[in-house]
């Protein structure tokens, strides 16, 4: 039996709890500064409430950080120093320097640490990653991703403040930055435009153009200005074919080559990406094996986001830190 301690029982804390609850060999504890919300959560998920984060650290085998992003650094460092295997929601932190402090602490203490970059577990993204790596489109050349919906609020409205959430670039587009790195390799140049730092109220939107080390080009679009509902699309064009995905279409994944086209809909209930992500973390926490998405992966995705922000502010193309 593994006792998992969730800190932050808002939107993501509940999503994680739903999936932890499906694992018969996990018991849940939780801490949140919002006492009524914590009490309600504990009742719903049969979790024991802790009185403080320190109490959670003392009484749990593993820690699951589901706090607003500006609080990740402090809590992650305390969990790592306590040598509790830890999973932390994306984005890992708000800046490369904060992420670097986590990477350094993970290395110093040898603590198992996973960044919750869940898109790697979404069936279409996972399958497309494999198809592309297996050469289904030949040499990838042009990538286009789009992700968005209405602006999230979060408890107290923290998502709307870029100083707390990083805005659409850091909070939302990070998903695609990570998937692009994982699938196509490192990003060496970023040029971006955005509404993030303008006076346009309640609308956040960005389009970033990434140049990959391979020479491929990716257009990554993120929006919190789409009240029509959440939608994700991607298209990858290579020397021998195209793969496309639209979260509103069925079948969800379509591969088109000169010799024909085929459709797939790889979704099934046991494919839930959050369940698979938490299960993978649990396996690493129990065995000490290398987690599938590391603190360094979290840092590298934030480095692309940070370069995009720098590009928005300067109007120039920017090389991501460490590229």
- Site residues (vs ligand NAD, CB under 6 A): 7-13, 31-34, 37, 66-69, 71, 89-90, 116, 118, 154-155, 171
Question: Min. distance of Cβ 166 from ligand NAD in angstroms?
Answer: 8
Under DSSP, is residue 212 helix (H, G, I), strand (E, B) or coil?
strand
Rank residues 11 and 266 by Cβ distance to ligand NAD and give the closer one: 11
Question: Min. distance of Cβ 79 from ligand NAD in angstroms?
Answer: 13
Burial profile 125-160: b = 16 or more Cβ within 10 angstroms, e = fewer:
bbbbbebbeeebbeebeebbbbbbbebbebeeebbb
Question: Min. distance of Cβ 194 from ligand NAD in angstroms?
Answer: 17
Query: Which residue has the closest beta carbon to ligand NAD?
Result: 10
Question: Min. distance of Cβ 219 from ligand NAD in angstroms?
Answer: 22
Rank residues 171 and 244 by Cβ distance to ligand NAD and give the closer one: 171
319 touches 146 (CB < 8 A): no
What is the DSSP track for 16-62?
HHHHHTT-TTEEEEEE-S-HHHHHHHHHHHTPEEPSSHHHHHHH-SE
Question: Min. distance of Cβ 237 from ligand NAD in angstroms?
Answer: 27
Burial profile 92-105: b = 16 or more Cβ within 10 angstroms, e = fewer:
bbbbbebbbbbbeb
Burial profile 241-262: b = 16 or more Cβ within 10 angstroms, e = fewer:
bbbbbbbeeeebbbbeeeeeee
Question: Min. distance of Cβ 117 from ligand NAD in angstroms?
Answer: 8
129 touches 279 (CB < 8 A): no
* Sign of the dihedral through C-alpha 157, 93, 224, 277: negative
299 touches 96 (CB < 8 A): yes
Structure tokens at 38: 């914590």
Query: What CA–CA distance (Å, rounded) separates 167 from 153?
Result: 11
* Sign of the dihedral through C-alpha 53, 59, 62, 64: negative
Query: What CA–CA distance (Å, rounded) separates 227 from 199?
Result: 19
Question: Min. distance of Cβ 277 from ligand NAD in angstroms?
Answer: 9
Rank residues 36 and 227 by Cβ distance to ligand NAD and give the closer one: 36
Rank residues 164 and 190 by Cβ distance to ligand NAD and give the closer one: 164
Question: Min. distance of Cβ 111 from ligand NAD in angstroms?
Answer: 20
Residue keyed to tokens 């840092």: 299
């Amino acid at each position: 039996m593994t006792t998992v301690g969730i800190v932050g029982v808002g939107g993501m804390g509940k999503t994680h709890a739903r999936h932890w609850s499906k694992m018969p060999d996990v018991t849940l504890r939780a801490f949140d500064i919002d006492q009524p919300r914590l009490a309600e959560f504990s009742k719903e998920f049969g979790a024991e409430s802790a009185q403080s984060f320190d109490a959670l650290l003392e009484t749990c085998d593993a820690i699951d950080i589901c706090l607003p992003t500006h609080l990740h650094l402090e809590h992650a460092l305390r969990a790592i120093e306590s040598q509790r295997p830890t999973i932390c929601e994306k984005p890992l932190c708000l800046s490369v320097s904060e992420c670097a402090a986590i990477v350094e602490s993970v290395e110093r203490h040898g603590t198992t640490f996973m960044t919750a970059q869940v898109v790697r577990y979404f069936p279409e993204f996972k399958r497309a990653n494999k198809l592309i790596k297996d050469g289904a489109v030949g040499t990838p050349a042009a990538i286009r991703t789009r992700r968005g919906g209405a602006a999230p609020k979060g408890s107290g409205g923290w998502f709307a403040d870029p100083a707390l959430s990083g805005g659409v670039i850091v909070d939302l587009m990070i998903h695609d930055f990570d998937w692009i790195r994982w699938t196509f390799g490192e990003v060496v140049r970023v040029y971006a435009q955005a509404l993030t730092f303008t006076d346009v109220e309640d609308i956040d939107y960005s389009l970033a153009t990434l140049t990959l080390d391979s020479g491929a080009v990716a257009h990554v679009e993120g929006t919190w200005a789409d009240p029509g509902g959440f939608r994700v699309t991607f298209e990858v064009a290579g020397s021998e074919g195209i793969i496309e995905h639209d979260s509103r279409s069925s079948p969800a994944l379509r591969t088109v080559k000169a010799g024909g086209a085929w459709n797939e809909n790889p979704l099934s209930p046991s494919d839930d990406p959050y369940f698979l992500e938490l299960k993978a973390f649990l396996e690493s926490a129990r065995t000490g094996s290398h987690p599938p998405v590391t603190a360094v992966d979290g840092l590298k995705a934030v480095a692309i986001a940070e370069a995009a922000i720098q590009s928005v502010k300067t109007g120039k193309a920017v090389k991501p830190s460490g590229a």
